[in-house]
Amino acid sequence: MDILIDTIKDTYLILPILFIMYLCLEYFEHKNINQHFDKYLIRYGPIFGALLGIIPQCGFGVLASLLFIEKRITLGTLISVFIATSDEAIPILLTSPELYSSLLEIIIFKFILAILIGYLVDVFIKENHLTSQKDTHDHCHNHSLFIEAFLRTIKIYAFIFVVNFILSAAIEMIGTDQLSYILLDNSLLQPVVSAIFGFIPNCAASVILTQLYMNQALSFASLLAGLITNAGLGILVLLQNKVNTATILKICLILLMSALFVSLPLQWLHLH
How sure is the predictor about 137, in pLDDT bands with cuts at 50, 70 and 90? Answer: very low
Query: What does the alpha-carbon distance between residue 114 and residue 89 come to, in Å, rounded to a whole number?
Result: 17
How sure is the predictor about 227, in pLDDT bands with cuts at 50, 70 and 90? Answer: very high
Residue 27 has pLDDT above 50, yes or no: yes
47 Cβ contact partners less than 8 Å away, ≥ 6 residues apart? 80, 115, 118
Domain positions in the chain are 2-271
Q: What angle do CA 257, 260, 266 make, to 5 degrees?
A: 155
Q: Closest by alpha carbon to 77, among 105, 108, 53, 98?
A: 53
Mean pLDDT, rounded, for 213-234: 89
Question: Which pTM value belongs to this model?
Answer: 0.81
* 145, 23 contact by CB (below 8 A): yes
Look at residue 60 and give its three-state secondary structure. Answer: helix
Residue 155 has pLDDT above 50, yes or no: yes
Query: What does the alpha-carbon distance between residue 53 and residue 82 come to, in Å, rounded to a whole number?
Result: 7
* 36, 174 contact by CB (below 8 A): no
Residue 136 has pLDDT above 50, yes or no: no
Structure-model confidence comparison of residues 29 and 173, the more confident one? 173
pLDDT digits (tens, 9 = 90+) for 31-86: 555 555 566 667 789 999 999 888 876 677 888 898 898 888 899 999 999 999 98
Give me the pLDDT at residue 29, please: 58
pLDDT digits (tens, 9 = 90+) for 86-104: 877 888 888 888 889 999 9
Give me the pLDDT at residue 134, please: 46
